[in-house]
A = this chain, B = another copy of it.
Amino acid sequence: MTYCVGLGLKDGLVFLSDTRTNAGVDNISIFSKMHVYHIADERIFVLLTAGNLGIAQAVVNMLHEGIETEERIETLYTVGTPFRAAQLVGEAVRRVFQTDGEAMQAQSVAFDVSVLLGGEIRGRGMRLFQIYSAGNFIEATPDTPFLQIGEHKYGKPILDRVVQYDTALTDGVKLVLVSMDSTLRSNLTVGMPIDLLVYKRGALEPELKRRITEDDAYFRVIRERWSDALREAYHAIPPPPYTSD
């Protein structure tokens, strides 16, 4: 399992992904699920993947090699707009389905992959998309400025209540870390370390890219303070006034 979250905020983008992959509970590995495509001063794309690791890697490899369309080969380094980038990822997913889908179906393995893609191309805007396993996609908007893939439910309540389009990037970092912490606690198949990337709108380079390990002092602060805060919050709620009917 996997948990990846992306925020599409007024000031920029925040991405966080775990690194655990598992084939059963006794075959656990660390794979980065975050891929960055960057040409200084021109473009940056960040791609996060969830689902079947074989499919996800096939999609990423296909995007690296480039996809032949109408007599040219396109990659995330050559597409003209963020929208075209999302289409290209969708096309990669569909081509992997064409090559691997039938054999997987024959063995009752679900064709399960989802992708978060966010970034900016100079003069063409900053956007954040979620691509489904059918290759279609949706986009984050000011009304719902976050997208999640993988094991998303445990970490959703805090995002539902707090994230807004004008949330500051530093607050966004706190929130995705809290959201990840809730997920890590409730689902063993989501695991440390985690990869964080912060992108400031217009910068065309990462503001921050960091692998956060178990030893990370700030992540420990988040975990402890958050647990304490939840306990304090529920203690502060007055006792129920209910009496029996």
- Closest chain B CB from A163 CB (angstroms): 10
User: Which A residues between 149 and 193 are near B, CB-CB below 8 angstroms?
Assistant: 153-154, 156-158, 160-162, 170-171, 173-175, 177-178, 182, 185-186
User: Which A residues between 197 and 245 are near B, CB-CB below 8 angstroms?
Assistant: 206-210, 218, 221-222, 225-227, 229-245
Docked Cα-Cα span, A186 to B182, in Å, equals: 15
Please tell me if A89 contacts chain B, counting CB pairs below 8 Å: no
On chain A, which size bracket covers the interface? Answer: 35 or more
Q: In the complex, are the beta carbons of B234 and A162 less than 8 A apart? A: yes
Q: In the complex, are the beta carbons of B222 and A226 less than 8 A apart? A: no
Q: In the complex, are the beta carbons of A240 and B162 less than 8 A apart? A: no
Closest B residue to A206 by CB, please name it: B244
Q: A208-B242, A218-B241, A241-B218 are in contact. Are A162 and B230 (CB under 8 A)?
A: yes
Q: In the complex, are the beta carbons of B158 and A240 less than 8 A apart? A: no
Q: In the complex, are the beta carbons of B221 and A174 less than 8 A apart? A: no
Q: A162-B230, A175-B234, A233-B229 are in contact. Are A239 and B170 (CB under 8 A)?
A: yes
Q: A157-B185, A185-B161 are in contact. Are A233 and B242 (CB under 8 A)?
A: no
Please tell me if A196 contacts chain B, counting CB pairs below 8 Å: yes
Identical subunits present: 2
Residue from A157, A210, A237 whose CB has the most chain B CB atoms within 10 Å = A157
Q: In the complex, are the beta carbons of B161 and A237 less than 8 A apart? A: no
Q: In the complex, are the beta carbons of A233 and B234 less than 8 A apart? A: no
Q: In the complex, are the beta carbons of A208 and B244 less than 8 A apart? A: yes
- Closest chain B CB from A123 CB (angstroms): 24
Residue from A154, A171, A174, A233 whose CB has the most chain B CB atoms within 10 Å = A233
Docked Cα-Cα span, A26 to B239, in Å, equals: 37
Q: In the complex, are the beta carbons of A233 and B244 less than 8 A apart? A: no
| Chain B positions within 8 Å of A236 at CB level | 225, 229
Docked Cα-Cα span, A225 to B236, in Å, equals: 9
Closest B residue to A225 by CB, please name it: B237
Q: In the complex, are the beta carbons of B234 and A178 less than 8 A apart? A: yes
Q: In the complex, are the beta carbons of B196 and A242 less than 8 A apart? A: yes
| Chain B positions within 8 Å of A156 at CB level | 154, 186
Q: In the complex, are the beta carbons of B237 and A221 less than 8 A apart? A: yes
